[in-house]
Structures are given as C-alpha cells and as structure tokens.
C-alpha cells in the first residue's frame, strides 16, 4: 500500500441478519505497474494468509 485516506463508515447486514458498522478506507496500490485507487474494508480478525517478510 502506498497511501491510505480517511475512513468513511459503512453498514452491512450479515448473513445471520445482524448489522455491522465498520470503517472503509480509500487506498492507492500498485497493481501490475499501474496505480489504482481501491476501497479497503476494516477487518477485526486474524490474517488468513501470512506474508513472508
């Protein structure tokens, strides 16, 4: 990630019917040599995949 913007809020209804409010950030990433602006949802969980350092 190159840059992350200010968070906005989003509300979604989960599969079990409960509501979830979370932050959505705007980020700029390099994908195949091209700069792209994408939304990034906040997640409060452990990573599913680890990246080698």
pTM for the whole structure: 0.52
Residue 24: pLDDT over 90? no
Residue 34: pLDDT over 90? yes
Contact 16, 35 (CB under 8 A): no
For residue 27, what are the CA distances in angstroms to 5, 14, 15, 18, 33? 6, 24, 27, 28, 16
Determine the average pLDDT of the residues in 20-24: 82
Residue 32: pLDDT over 90? yes
pLDDT of residue 4: 57
Backbone angles phi, psi at 29, to 5 degrees: -125, 160
């Amino acid at each position: 990630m190159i840059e992350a913007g200010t968070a906005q809020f989003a509300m979604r209804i989960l599969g079990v019917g409960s509501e979830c409010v979370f932050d959505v950030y705007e980020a700029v990433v390099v994908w195949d040599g091209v700069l792209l602006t994408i939304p990034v949802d906040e997640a409060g969980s452990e990573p599913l995949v680890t990246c080698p350092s």
